[in-house]
Structure 1
Amino acid sequence: MTSISFNSTAASALSLLTGSNKALQESQDRISSGLRVNQAADNAAYWSIATSMRADNLSLSSAEDATGLAAAVTDTAALGMEQATSIVSDIQSKLILAKAVGGDKTAINSEIDVLKDQLKTVAKSASFNGQNWLNLDKGQSPQVESMVASVSKSSEGQLSVNVIDFDTAGSTLVSAENADDGMLTRSYSGTTATGSAYEYYLLDPGATTPTSASAKPISLSASTTNDDIDGMIAATNAMMSSLTDAGAQIGATASRISQNTEFLADLQDVTAKGVGRLVDSNMEEEATRLSAAKVQQQLQTQMLNIANSGTRSSLSLFM
């Protein structure tokens, strides 16, 4: 006998259809988001780990941006130092030329003055985002610049920022505060191969604290002797040595920053892959499940329609 108060077949078909609709919705959500763990309810453990790793990746991304700024500063300083070294080398060549028989020292000095102006321009222009490692204005002194290198997290979850330090005392070319702080403004003294004492400086920035009062500028005139020129050449040679060392220090710092930047980028990729293994959907599997869920939905909809049609046939007997 068929009960008209409750259709068990239709109820069973409806229950199956509800389950298929839910499975279909879950597959659609996973395909649209690309995630099989989209919220804590999906898998609390995986969701917690993935959320923490995403936060770490965000910190790594910020550190990478910071190293990019640091790289720009060091690259600017390296370029300025390279240019300054080349110009001082040219000045040294002019001084050697001045020793030639019949050399026009006054004309050569005019060329040296032009090169000095170029050096001042290079020192002032080697600035990025307000950071200048080559030039110090009045009131400024060399200092240690700390640049972000990476970030790390301890086992207790404490985040720390690792830095690379660079002391601009080793890269300052011109100092308008204390002339002795600048490689081009301090004086260089010694004795030439012929036994003549010398003490010379290249640039005079009008520093608050000038260089040694006994020092003379590297400058030529018709009355400049060969012994004087030898002293100037010796001074520029010592200057070149300082510039070369400074360029090497800046280059080493730039290399460290570049390596850290590459490492941070690789670390972000590895972290993202780790998160993906935990929470990303397998799109091929989800596509298969979606197709299966659609077929089940269609079949169960037909079953429900058949069950309901049976009930309607029974009801028609009482009408």
Structure 2
Amino acid sequence: MSSILTNNGAMVALQTLKATNNALTAVQAEISTGKSVANSKDNAAVWAISKVMESDVQGFTAIQDTLSLGESTVSVARQAAESIASRLNAIKDNIVNAQTANVDRAKLQVAIDADVEQIKNIVATAQFSGMNLIDGGTATASFLASLDRKADGSVGVSTIDVTGQNLSTGDYVATAVFGATTDGVTANSDAAAFNLDGAGGTGTIEIDAAATYAAGDKISLNIGGKTATYTVSEADAATTTPADMIAVGLKNAVDALGIEGLTVDYDSATAGTLAFTNDGTKDLTVGAQFKNAGAGGLSLLNTIDVSSDASALSALNNIDGILQTAVDAAAAFGAVESRISTQADFVSKLTDALKSGIGSMVDADMEAASARLQALQVQQQLGVQALSIANQSPQSLLSLFQ
């Protein structure tokens, strides 16, 4: 049935043209924005996921900046520690030269003092962006390393922690903790040194019972190139016999070194006395050094003195421990710097992967969009022609009334 009131053909052609125009608009939007999901109306779920991922990308970009700052800060500290170790090696050379009696020890002392001052300068200037990791002022520094998004949507953070290393030379207070010792060592001082001949050589060190001790004080023994250290605890300092506690602690530490032929006995008859016997085949040099609580890691440099045979021998025994402190600090910083560098590289790659993932979800396929655009343009032209033909169909009804 034909009707002049209802043109079904025109309605079908119009709906088809509208659908084609809507699809054409969507394709043109993809081409102009470069995105298949430009807003939540396009695809709410995909859009929401992409926005969360974009937020993570921004966070990781900021983390890269933080890691760069951390790497530079630790690098400065590492290079400073390595420079200090180099200066300490120069000091050690002069101390070794001072072991000979017919050298100008005064000039050697001048050279040693100059290197000590250079070390102080290095410590004072080894800062980056206001942070100094080797002057004892920073216990721990934390650098943001990652954002950890959990399955429930909550976000946690992980950090890379850097332990500060105290390579300062300040805050040292000399204390006469070593009393009478054998082999002509000066009594009542903060250092002691003597030789233990092989095949039965003996010697003693007395921890002075009259001295005042505080928690954190350290007493070190360097024997044949190996070091045993005991740190005074609060309980030790509170007892009436701290010298005995220290002597027993040192004996246990020396025994743990496992030096062949060396026997250490605690003499309870005299407070704080350790008796050494060397039944080994090699001669051993014994050096004792006190470091008060709160003193800088290199504070014992202030005690380096090569003006006499005894003091030069004591300096020789102590310099290895001082050098090891700087070497350990440099190694610790090097390990952390490598870790930060590795994490920065990982974060960079992770950021690229997230960007790629976001793109695969929301970016438009330009090749496919181009093909659809051309096809829809043809469909639009055909739809316009179809609508035109449908609108002309009522004209045929006029022939019925002629």
Q: Give % identity.
A: 28
Residues 1-319 of structure 1 aligned to structure 2 (within 5 Å): 12-99=12-99, 103-136=103-136, 140=137, 142-168=138-164, 171-174=165-168, 176=170, 178-179=171-172, 189=191, 191-193=193-195, 199=289, 217-220=303-306, 224-303=307-386
SS of residue paired to 1:135: coil
1:88 partner letter: L
8 Å contact 2:78–2:334 — kept in the other structure? yes
8 Å contact 2:147–2:155 — kept in the other structure? yes
Q: 1:227 to 1:240 in 2, by over 3 A?
A: same
Specify which structure has the higher proportion of strand. Answer: 2
Greater relative CO, 1 or 2 (CA 8 Å, sep 6+) = 1
Distance 1:74 1:210 in 2: 19
Provide the TM-score with structure 2 as the length reference.
0.61
1:75 partner letter: S
1:229 partner letter: A
1:277 partner letter: S
SS of residue paired to 2:53: helix
8 Å contact 2:166–2:296 — kept in the other structure? no
SS of residue paired to 2:147: strand
Distance 1:151 1:192 in 2: 57
Distance 1:98 1:20 in 2: 97
8 Å contact 1:198–1:232 — kept in the other structure? no
Corresponding residue number in structure 2 for 1:184:
none
Q: 1:7 to 1:247 in 2, by over 3 A?
A: same
Distance 1:214 1:48 in 2: 62
Q: 1:297 to 1:189 in 2, by over 3 A?
A: farther
SS of residue paired to 1:174: coil
Judge which range, 19-28 or 190-199, deviates more: 190-199
Q: How many residues align?
A: 293
1:237 partner letter: D
Q: Note the C-alpha offset of 1:103.
A: 3.8
The structure whose Rg is larger is 2
Q: 1:44 to 1:270 in 2, by over 3 A?
A: same
Specify which structure has the higher proportion of helix. Answer: 1
Q: 1:109 to 1:190 in 2, by over 3 A?
A: closer
2:304 partner letter: I
Q: Tell me, which stretches of 5 or more residues in structure 2 are unaligned? A: 174-188, 197-284
Provide the TM-score with structure 1 as the length reference.
0.75
Judge which range, 295-304 or 121-130, deviates more: 295-304
Distance 2:191 2:336 in 1: 30
Distance 2:332 2:121 in 1: 22
Q: 1:148 to 1:244 in 2, by over 3 A?
A: same
